Structures are given as C-alpha cells and as structure tokens.
Structure 1
C-alpha cells in the first residue's frame, strides 16, 4: 500500500529527493505516493521543473500544516540550520518523518539511520555507523566504520568521512572533502569543498584547504 509523502523544499535537493523516491518506487512498487512539494518561496524555475515532472506545489509550509495533514514528510533543504528549524516546526504537529534510502546506496551491518534522513545513490555507509535524524548523504559520499553523524548533518557529493569520525549537529561537509580517522567536527561547523581535515574542527567554524585550516 502506498504511503503518502510530501517533500519539503522545491530546490535542487528537493528534486534529487524526488528522484530517490522514484527509484524506490520502481524497485518496490507501492512504497510511496508523492502528494507534492511544500516550499515558502519557490523560484519560477523550480516550479517549472516540478511541473514538468508532474509534481504539485502545495504552498508554503505553514499553510500546508494548517490543513492538518496526515502524510509523511521528508525535508529536502540543503542548509543544515534551516533543516533543523523546519524539523522543529513540523515536529510540533506530530507528523512522521520518512527515511529515504536510494536502492543503489550501500548500508553496512549494525548501522542505524535516523528518521527523516535522505541517502542518495552511490553512497557507501560502512559498519557500525550512527546516522542521526534529518541527515543528508549526497551522491557518492562515503561514511567509514563506526562514524557518528548527528542531527541535520549534510555530507555533500563525493566527500569521505573516515572511520570513527564524529560530526555534531547541523554541520556541513563540502563536496570532495576528506575527514581523517577519529576526528571530531563541532556543531554547526563547515568543511569546505575538497578540504582535507587533519585535526578537530571547533563548533561554528569554517575550515578549508589542504590541510584544512
């Protein structure tokens, strides 16, 4: 039986999340039924692209919540801080956050994935990993053994998180970045694209370069 779902976010990652849902439905027909997308201020181009694939814009988030929806939801907003705020807003309405994992993602043994997370195609998650709620693992990212990613972390395409790394809430790891084994990334930190992190990153700090500074 199809489960109704709404994607929160009409931008690029919203459409990528729709692709993940499409892939799940192709492999397991009857999994999800996409009702549409909610977004407070979608661009004209975003609405056009949604229209081309037959996806409805359901209006701003607050207005949609006033309709007393019963659908599951997934937050497809790239900014970790914005995603956390939206999760708090929706959470007060008691809705269910859907966990969306592409069939071509590889998930190791003894690994847990929090509600509302999106794991894209080509992602490799090793054994013993803890993934918190509303985490985004973009295409072809790699998460090493026994790593821990807390709520609303974003790992951008091609990034490599080595074994035993801990990444705290609302942090972002840029495309192609590497974080070496056993390091700690503080809350709200940003690791720049293609950076190589060789030491712990303090909270609310941006690091970039090789080695990252």
Structure 2
C-alpha cells in the first residue's frame, strides 16, 4: 500500500524516518508501506525533500486522487492535525499507524489509527492511545494511561501511570505529568513543566510546579 504523509515540515520529515525504519525492520513484504510523497498546504522546502528522496505531491486539494492510500499527518498542532485528518478521511485515504522499531510497547496496549510512535518511546502496560496521537522521541507513558485523540507528547516528556490526556492536549518537551492526573482537552503543558494537579481544558500551564498561564 502507498503511504502519504500530510505535512512536509520538520516533524513530517521525522515521520518519514519512522516509516522507512519500520519498513526496513519488517520481515514481511505485506507489512511494508511504499512511501508515495508529501502533501502540504504551505510552501515546503523542496531542496530538503530532494535530499531525503521525497516527492511533493501538492496541497490537500490533491488528496482525492490519492484515494485508497494509507496516510498519517505529520503536523504537531492538534487542531490542524484534526482538520487535515478529516480531509484525508473524506477523500478516501486510510489512516495507518507507524511505530519505530526502537520503541517498546508493553502488554495490553491499543494504538488508534493515525498514531505515530517515534524512536525511543516507552509505553508500559494497559495503555489506551486514540486516533492521530503523536508520541515523540524518547517520551514515556506509564501504566493504565489514556491518551485521547490528537493528543501530542513531545520529546523526553514523561506521562505517569493512570494519567488521562484529553483530546488535543499537548505536553511540552521534557515536561512530566504526575500519576493519576488529568490534562484537559486542548490544554498545553509547557516545556519542562511539572504537572502536580489537574489541568483545566484549554489552559496553558508552565513552571515547576506547573501553574496556569491563561486560557485560550
């Protein structure tokens, strides 16, 4: 099956590395995705794409001609990711899941379609991960956690056991969320923050311990 990555920015190109490494480690031709190219509504750096052997297929208006291809969205912003995923689904593309071969996933873990698990990620046991979730480099997710659709966990962030990340929540680089807490929908935890109490929806928290910066 052909693979299309929506978003040709920095993270989108990192997602291509995940896809290629996953394909290289697969023993079965049936499990390999053939990378077709990038779709991007902006102005991607074509020289960078050329250096990594990637084609630019055009904007999201071209999705209809790619009907039947697998896709993931390599865009960090959860709202934009949700919009692009909706367009791809409507155009007849099929969301797939990419897991880097260096990631470790424990027993009783579910991964929703469109989810991307980057290199070095550690997921333990009884974890529920929704649709189009991003777990970036070396992030960790503890036991019994729930990450709802379009949640984003940035590099080196630590999600403790029994944590719930609501839809579209974003956890910044090297941030940590203590056990049993809930980060509300569309909330943002700043880089390096230590979350020691629940985070309200659409709220940005920063610092150690994390305190509310404001609501969006």
**Common topology (TM > 0.5):** yes
Which residue is equivalent to 1:103?
Answer: 101
Work out whether 1:178 is the aligned partner of 2:176: yes
Of 187, 201, 204, 1:203 maps to: 201
Of 90, 93, 99, 2:88 maps to: 90
Which residue is equivalent to 2:214?
Answer: none
Work out whether 1:52 is the aligned partner of 2:44: no
Aligned-pair CA distance for 1:68: 4.9
Work out whether 1:131 is the aligned partner of 2:129: yes
Which residue is equivalent to 1:37?
Answer: 38
For residues 118-170 of structure 1, what are the alpha-carbon distances to aligned partners after superposition, in whole Å with 9 as ceiling and x for unaligned? 00010000100000000000010000000000000110000000000000011
Larger strand fraction of residues? 2
Contact between 1:11 and 1:42, CA under 8 Å: does it hold in 2? Answer: no
Contact between 1:10 and 1:47, CA under 8 Å: does it hold in 2? Answer: no
Aligned-pair CA distance for 1:88: 1.5
Contact between 2:66 and 2:93, CA under 8 Å: does it hold in 1? Answer: no
SS in structure 1 opposite 2:34?
Answer: strand
For residues 183-205 of structure 1, what are the alpha-carbon distances to aligned partners after superposition, in whole Å with 9 as ceiling and x for unaligned? 01110000000000000000000
SS in structure 2 opposite 1:86?
Answer: helix
Which residue is equivalent to 1:10?
Answer: 8
For residues 22-65 of structure 1, what are the alpha-carbon distances to aligned partners after superposition, in whole Å with 9 as ceiling and x for unaligned? 1012111631100000001133xx32111111110000011x12
In 2, the alpha carbon distance for the partners of 1:69 and 1:111 equals 30
- Structure 2 runs not aligned, ≥5 long: 212-216
* Alignment RMSD: 1.0
